């Protein structure tokens, strides 16, 4: 079930990223040019992008066993989708979004590694 949820969320994320405008902005504000903001950005990092990729990474970690392949895919897709904004109309490439995407992938993997390391050392 989690694997299906991961794939669905991944597909939804790709659609939202490549659509020329903000689908969520249209739903919330009736305006394709506005983007809803969950929390304010911090340290020049997009909080929305951070949260979205943390959720995607967590779903992936819980449903896919090949962590290196998953990590490689998520880093690639986080960079690729943001770079696509250079050519998608009504979208713009922003480093703060890119940093949010990448950190949203890295943070869950670090937490997962620390958890596995701690669990492994508890049995010794």
d(CA 15, CA 81): 10
Neighbours of 26 (CB within 10 A): 14
pLDDT at position 95 is 95
Collect the ranges in the chain with pLDDT lower than 50.
Answer: none
What is the per-residue burial (b if ≥16 Cβ within 10 Å, else e) of 29-57?
eeeeeeeeeeeebeeebbbbbbebbbebb
58-78: pLDDT as tens digits: 999 999 989 999 999 999 999
Global pTM value: 0.87
* CA separation for the pair 109, 66 (Å, rounded): 12
pLDDT of residue 123: 67
| pLDDT recorded at residue 107 | 96
**Structure token pair of residue 92:** 């713009």
pLDDT at 87: 94
Q: For residue 73, what are the contacts with CB-CB under 8 A and spacing of at least 6?
A: none
């Amino acid at each position: 079930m989690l694997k299906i949820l991961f794939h669905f969320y991944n597909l939804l994320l790709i659609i939202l990223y490549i659509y020329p405008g903000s689908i969520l902005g249209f739903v919330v504000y009736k305006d394709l040019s506005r983007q809803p903001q969950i929390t304010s950005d911090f340290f020049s990092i997009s909080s929305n992008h951070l949260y979205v990729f943390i959720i995607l990474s967590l779903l992936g970690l819980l449903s896919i066993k090949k962590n290196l392949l998953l990590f490689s895919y998520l880093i690639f897709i986080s960079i690729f989708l943001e770079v696509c904004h250079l050519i998608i109309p009504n979208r713009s490439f922003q480093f703060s979004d890119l940093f949010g995407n990448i950190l949203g992938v890295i943070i869950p993997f670090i937490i997962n590694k620390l958890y596995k390391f701690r669990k492994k050392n508890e049995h010794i």
